[in-house]
Each structure stands twice: as C-alpha cells, then as structure tokens.
Chains A and B, each alone.
Chain A
Amino acid sequence: MLKLEHVDKEYADHHALNDINLEFQEHETTVLLGPSGAGKSTLLRSLNLLEEPERGIYQISDHTIDFSKDISNKEKLQIRQLTGMVFQSWNLFPHLTILQNITEGPIHVLKQSKADAETNAERLLKLVGLEDTKNRFPNQLSGGQQQRISICRALAMNPEYILFDEPTSALDPELEAQVLRVLLELAEEKQSMIVVTHNLEFARRVANKIVFLENGKIEFEGTADEFFNHPTDRIKAFLTGMTF
C-alpha cells in the first residue's frame, strides 16, 4: 500500500500541495483529476521523489519517509524502484536502442543478467505490439509508439506502482487510443496504477478511485460513479469547463 499523511509542498509563490492525506490501494487504478496547476503532477512526482515536499509522511511497502528530514540516497533509489514513472513526453534515452532503453534499468539497477533482461523486454514489447522495433532508435518511432516503449521501460523494473504523468497529453487522438488501450490492459491485469490525465472517458471507464485536486487540496475522493453522476458544484464547474 502507498500512503501519504499531511503532505505539504510550497513554492515561492504558491502552495502546490496543501495537507494531502491519501491512500492508494494495490491492484487498483487511481486517477488524479483537476484543473491545470492543481498540483496533480507535483503530487505524482513526489511519489517518485522527483519532487520533495517540505513536510509529511510517505509510506510505501516497508519504507516510511518523513519529508521534513533528509532522505538518504539509498532510500531514494529503493523507493524509485518501487514506483515506475511514465512521463508526458516519454523521455526515452535517444542514444540507446528500444531494447536497450527497456533493459537499461533491469541490467544496471536490478543487476539482472543481460539475457534475462532481454527476454523480459521482448515479452513486454510483444505485449504492446512493438516487437519489431527493438533494434531501432527512439526518434525513428511515432510519439504513440515511444510512449508505449516508455511504459515497457517502467514495467521492466517490476515496480509496485506505475505513475503516469499525463501520458497522452502530447499525442494525437489516434495515437492516444493506442496508449490508452495498453493502460486498459494493465488495469485489467490488476497492475497498481496512479494516473494523472485530462481524459475523462479514461477516468470513467478505468478508475477504481478518482481524486480531484484543486489549488493543491483534495476536493473529492471517491468512485467514478460518484464523481460523474453525483458531482459537487466544484466538480460540475470543472466538468463543464472540460466540454465545449
């Protein structure tokens, strides 16, 4: 289980996260929604320690972190291995082939043998329908393909949770669908996922839980049914703003 207690993050000019208390269940998909600048990405990045909040407690697996104290490098690396990250603009390593992108972490961080890592990478590539691309370089692939590769890269580390930071925002609708189909499959396989997205249809179909953030605060936490069918006034305003 992954748990946050009283987490606060402040930038010079605004309160990015304001007293966040949240639990993310295993084998579930949690979707983070909210207007731009609500703190969704900051929250997600804090779980992977790419951002470090000033205060609060973070529990994952058998690790407990107090953000008000220094976090040791060793603990950081361990927590990052438990939380895979998929970025909005995928951020594949351009100088490595697709296969190397996926095996880089398993070989050099998890110390798997090259043969094992490659076998696993090929299995994952098959899962996302890109087994033919393994010897290519990232910039020979489309954005949708690159994003699917970056999902493989995260999966290859066998993390407890995978964090998706607006994984389809930079994609055309057709390519977005390719990526969302992969997420859907992962959800069906009960992979624990936390997804920041603007895609309401995805949230409606896949989320076991929706967390709605506004101005760094949790304004709602509940099921997709509650969120879409019994929205509060604030959520109504947000949903109205998302349609035209």
Chain B
Amino acid sequence: MWDTIVKSTPEIVGAGIKYSIPLALISFVIAMVIAVATALVRTTEPKGSGITKFLFKLLKWIISFYIWLFRSTPLLVQLFIVFFGLPSIGVELDAFTAGIITFSLNTGAYCSESVRGAIISIPKSQWEAAYAIGMSYSQVLFRIIFPQAMRVAIPPVSNSFIGLVKDTSLASSITILEMFTVSQQIAAKNYEPMLMYCMVAVYYAVFCSILSIGQYYLERYTSRYIVTGG
C-alpha cells in the first residue's frame, strides 16, 4: 500500500500545484473583485436625476439578477454551460479558462452577499464621523469602512474560499487535469479506487486546513482593536 501511495503522490500533488491551486487562487481573487464591486453598487443609493439614476438602478438590477442566477443553479451545470454549451453559440474557451470564469462568477455571487452584509453592518455613524472631518467617499471607504467590514466578512468569505477549493474537483468533468481527475486516472490503472480517493481527500483537507489556519490569524489581526477593560 505504501508503495502505491508513494508512487502516486507526485502525480496527484503535481496536478494540485499545476491546476487545482491556481484554479482556486485565481478564481478567488477575481471573485473578490466581483464581490467588492457589486456589493459597493448594491449598498450605494443612486444620486442625481434622470438618466444617471436610471442607469444606476439598471446596474443594480443586473447585479441582483446575476447573484440570483449563480446562487440558484448548480455549479456543475454552470460549468457545463460555459464549457460545453457556449461553443454552440460561437464562444469557444479552453477548459482552464472556462473553469476560471465559472468558479469566479459563482464564488463572486456568494461573496458579494457576504461583503454587502459586512458593509451594512458598519453603523451609519461611522460614515458620518468620517465625512464630518472632510473625507471623500473613497477615503471613507478604504480608511474607515473596509478595515472594519473586513473583520465581519472574513468568516463567511473564508467559508466560500474553502468551498471553492473543494469545488475545483468538479473541474474534472470539463477535462481539466486537476487532482481529482488524476486520482481517477490512477485508480483506473491500479484498481485501488478506495486508496486513491481517500488520498486525494486528504490532500484537499490539507489545503483547506492551511486556509483555516490563515483565517484564524487574519481574524485575530483584524479584531485586534476589540479589546475590553484597561
């Protein structure tokens, strides 16, 4: 058994380093950009009048639709639509790109809600106090609101990130040679499915555990001002 484990480890871990981890990391970064941008639009009240207000409302509506769509349909179905479906209307993507796009949009939709919740959890009085000393909107956002909102957003966003890492295994269905695909291939050759799938489960668990530890330290850092007494 040890022999099988030692022999297959480089291949499985190699697939993780080459595909699973990049898929998860790149998708998460893009998802966070989507999440913050959409959450900001959704927490902002349109100002001005006429066409600007209308366009802003339209944008809000489009974002709500996007979030609804990606949260209400299975990720596997989304992957199939992007990779196998889109070519029929002339959009051909390689598997890795299709994976990045789908994972980013899916995780972005979930994280958008987490970030929105974190932003609206910061009392309005914090915005007012910052405006009162003459700060601009972007200064208030980046210097006052985000640092506080981050603390609130870390637990749900970490959940989404860990979920994403495990969901990259679904990429096996669109021909990406990530960890799970490779473990399947090896199992087909050595007839040790139990061992191979348990092994790959352990590798996912190791990666997710590293993220959980990261979450712990990030939470501790962003909560450093929550102290009592003294």
Those of B134-173 within 8 Å (CB) of chain A: 134-137, 139, 143-144, 147-148, 151
Docked complex: B94-137 residues within 8 A CB-CB of A: 125-126, 128-137
Check A93–B136 contact: CB distance below 8 A: no
CB pair B133–A109 under 8 Å, yes or no, is: yes
Selected contact of A80 from candidates B126, B134, B144, CB within 8 Å: B134
Q: Among A24-32, A132-140, A186-194, which stretch is in contact with chain B? A: A132-140
User: Do the beta carbons of B134 and A157 come within 8 Å of each other?
Assistant: yes
Residues of A within 8 A of B148 (CB): 94-95
The reply on A216 being an interface residue by CB < 8 A is no
Query: Which residues in B have their C-beta under 8 angstroms from that of A105?
Result: 133-135
- Is B228's CB within 8 Å of the partner chain A? yes
Report whether A108 and B225 are in contact in the complex, using a CB–CB cutoff of 8 Å.
no
Cα-based distance from A95 to B230 in the complex (angstroms): 16
A77 pairs with B128, CB closer than 8 A: no
Residue of B nearest to A85 (CB): B132
Partner pick for A140 among B129, B134, B135, B230, CB 8 A cutoff: B230
Q: Shortest CB–CB separation between residue A89 and chain B, in angstroms?
A: 7
Query: Closest residue to A150 on the B side, CB-wise?
Result: B129
B185 to chain A, nearest CB (A): 49
Interface residues of A in 137-193 (CB under 8 A from B): 137-140, 150, 153-154, 157
Q: Which residues of B contact A154 (CB under 8 A)?
A: 132-133
Q: By the criterion CB–CB under 8 Å, are A136 and B230 in contact?
A: yes
Q: A89-B125, A157-B134 are in contact. Are A108 and B226 (CB under 8 A)?
A: no
CB of B135 within 8 A of CB of A92, answer no
**Distance A140 CA – B230 CA, assembled complex (angstroms):** 6
Interface of B is mostly: helix
A109 touches B134 (CB 8 A): yes
Task: Flag if A139 contacts B227 (CB, 8 Å).
Answer: yes
Report if B10 contacts A (CB, 8 A). no
User: Judging by beta carbons under 8 Å apart, are B135 and A109 in contact?
Assistant: yes
Interchain CA distance A140-B148 in the complex, whole Å: 17
- A94 with B134: in contact, given A87-B125, A87-B128 (CB under 8 Å)? no
Residue pair A91, B128 in contact (C-beta under 8 Å): yes
Judge whether A87 and B229 touch: CB under 8 Å: no
* Nearest Cβ on chain A to B52's Cβ, whole angstroms: 12
How big is the A interface, by class?
20 to 34
Residue of B nearest to A50 (CB): B128
Query: For residue B223, which residue of chain A has the nearest CB?
Result: A95
A73 touches B136 (CB 8 A): yes
Partner of B132, one of A80, A89, A137: A80
Tell me the minimal C-beta distance from A77 to chain B in angstroms. 5
Interface contact B227-A92, CB-CB below 8 Å: no
The contact string, 1 if C-beta is below 8 Å from chain B, for chain A 90-105, is: 0111111000000011
- A104 lies within 8 A of B132 (CB): no
Does A48 belong to the interface (CB within 8 Å)? Answer: yes
Query: Is there an interface contact between A93 and B144, defined as CB atoms closer than 8 Å?
Result: yes
- Give B182 Cβ to nearest chain A Cβ, in Å: 44
Tell me the residues in window 42-77 of chain A with beta carbons closer than 8 Å to chain B beta carbons. 48, 50, 73, 77
Partner of B133, one of A80, A89, A136, A138: A80
With both chains docked as a complex, state the minimum distance between the C-beta of B135 and any C-beta of chain A, in angstroms: 6
CB of A84 within 8 Å of the partner chain? yes
Name the interface residues of B194-230: CB closer than 8 Å to any CB of A: 225-230
How far apart sit A29 and B143, CA to CA, in the bound complex (Å)? Answer: 33
Q: Is the CB of B134 within 8 A of A137?
A: no
- Across-interface contacts of A89 in B (CB, < 8 A): 125
Taking the closest CB of chain B, its distance from the CB of A104, in whole angstroms, is 7
Chain A residues packing against B (C-beta within 8 Å): 48, 50, 73, 77-78, 80-81, 84-85, 87, 89, 91-96, 104-105, 108-110, 136-140, 150, 153-154, 157
Q: Which 9 A-B pairs have the closest CB atoms?
A: A105-B133, A91-B129, A85-B132, A81-B134, A140-B230, A137-B225, A80-B134, A109-B134, A91-B125
Q: A140-B228, A140-B229, A153-B133 are in contact. List 15 more A-B contacts (CB 8 A).
A: A48-B132, A73-B137, A77-B134, A80-B133, A81-B134, A84-B132, A84-B133, A85-B133, A91-B126, A93-B144, A95-B148, A108-B135, A109-B139, A150-B129, A154-B133
